[in-house]
Amino acid sequence: MQINVRSRSFSVILIILLFTSLLTASDWKLNPGMFNPSGVPSLPFSQPRFADMDADGDLDMILGSTADKPMFLTNTGTSTSPKFTFIDDIFSSVNELDAEIGVCYDIDADGDLDLISGGYTGLQLYRNTGNVLNAEFSKVTDFFLGLALGSNPIPDLGDIDNDGDLDLLVGFSESGLIKLYTNSGSDSSAIFLESSALTIADAGLYAYPVFCDPDNDGDLDILSGRDGYNFYYYKNTGSITNGNWSSNSTVFSGLGGDTYFNSPAMADINGDGKQDLIYGTYIGPLNYYRNSGTSTSPSWTENTSLFGGVIDIGSASTPYFIDKDRDGDLDMVTGTQMGDIKLYRNDGSPTAPAFTYATTYTPLKHSLYSFVSFAEVTGDVSYDALVGDFNGNIYFHEGSGYSFVPASSAMIIDNVGGWSAPRFIDLDNDGDQDIVAGNEDGYLIYYENRGTATQPMWSFIYNYFDSLDIGNNCVPAFADLDFDGDYDLLAGDGFRKVRYYENQNGVWVEDTSMVEGIEAGQNASPAFADLDGDGDQDLILGNYSGNFDYYENLREVVAIKPVTTLPNDFKLNSYPNPFNPSTAISFSIFATNFAKASLVRKASMDRELHVELMIFDLNGKLINTLLNEYKSAGKYSLNFIAPATMSTGIYFCRLSIDGIIADTKKITLLK
Q: Which domains does the chain have, with CATH numbers?
A: 85-302 (2.115.10.20), 318-553 (2.115.10), 571-597+604-669 (2.60.40.1930)
Res 3: pLDDT: 36
Is the alpha carbon torsion for 549, 45, 346, 343 positive or negative?
positive
User: How does the average pLDDT of the chain come out, rounded?
Assistant: 87
In angstroms, the CA 453 to CA 469 distance is: 30
Does pTM top 0.85 for this prediction? no
- Contact yes or no for 196/178 (Cβ under 8 A): no
In angstroms, the CA 645 to CA 640 distance is: 14
Three-state DSSP at 34 gives: helix
For residue 586, which phi and psi values (nearest 5 degrees)?
-125, 150
Res 1 pLDDT > 70: no
Query: Which of 419 and 656 is assigned the larger pLDDT?
Result: 419
With bands split at pLDDT 50, 70 and 90, how would you rate the model's confidence at 570?
low
- Contact yes or no for 376/385 (Cβ under 8 A): no
HSE at residue 287, side-chain half, CA atoms within 13 A, is 23
For residue 52, which phi and psi values (nearest 5 degrees)?
-90, 85
DSSP state letter for 329: S
Note the Cα 311 to chain centre separation in Å. Answer: 9
Strands 421-425 and 411-415: unpaired
In angstroms, the CA 196 to CA 199 distance is: 10
- Hey, which residues does 223 pair with through a beta bridge? 210, 233
Query: Which of 68 and 658 is assigned the larger pLDDT?
Result: 68
Res 605 pLDDT > 60: no
The residues, any chain, with a CB within 8 Å of residue 585's CB and separated by 6 or more, are 572, 573, 574, 613, 626, 637, 638, 639, 640, 653, 665
- Contact yes or no for 654/585 (Cβ under 8 A): no
Res 26: pLDDT: 57
> Each residue of 394-436: pLDDT tens digit?
999 999 877 898 988 889 999 999 999 999 999 888 888 999 9
Res 644 pLDDT > 90: no
**Span between the terminal Cα atoms of the chain, in Å:** 30
